[in-house]
Amino acid sequence: MSLQVSKEGDVVVIEIEGQLIVSNRQELKQRVLDEAEGGARKIVVDFARTGYIDSAGLGVLVSLAKRLRELGGDIRLANLNDDLQTLFELTKLDTLFQISDTRERALESF
């Protein structure tokens, strides 16, 4: 997995390339927490180039959303493919996150 991080105004966009699973989830967690430490409160995670996500990866997203919301911010998700959408629906995490079909819409949602 690799992370591409960019800024769109006051929103930090993190694009995940590859799988988000138990062996690499800490990398995403640390990166987002570092951004939050630096003052970021609005995060978009872009899954356009993401493969599959396991329960550990989902868990990290849940944990990061809680942390950002405690800080008065939020984490929004974009570009889930059909498989990932199914995964979020199965776990009902589609009710916990605001999910947009494009990065632009996720940016506009803040």
Partner 1 sequence: MAVRGTLDLRIPSDVGQIKPVVDLVVRRCAELSFDRRQLSLNLPVALTEALSNAILRGNREDASKQVRIRAVFSEREVVVEVEDEGAGFDLEACIEDPTTADALEREDGRGLFLMRALMDHVERVDGERNVVRLTLRRAGHAA
Which residues form the interface with partner 1 (CB under 8 A)? 19, 21-23, 51-56, 58-60, 62-63, 66, 82-83, 86-87, 90-93, 95-96
Is 91 or 109 the residue whose CB approaches partner 1 more closely? 91
* CA atoms within 13 Å, Cβ hemisphere of 13: 19
Is 8 or 94 the residue whose CB approaches partner 1 more closely? 94
Is 87 or 106 the residue whose CB approaches partner 1 more closely? 87
Minimum Å distance from CB 55 to partner 1? 4
Minimum Å distance from CB 82 to partner 1? 8
Conformation bin of residue 77: beta by default, left when phi > 0, alpha when psi is -120 to 50:
beta
CA nearest 101: which of 54, 48, 65, 25?
48
* 15 touches 48 (CB < 8 A): yes
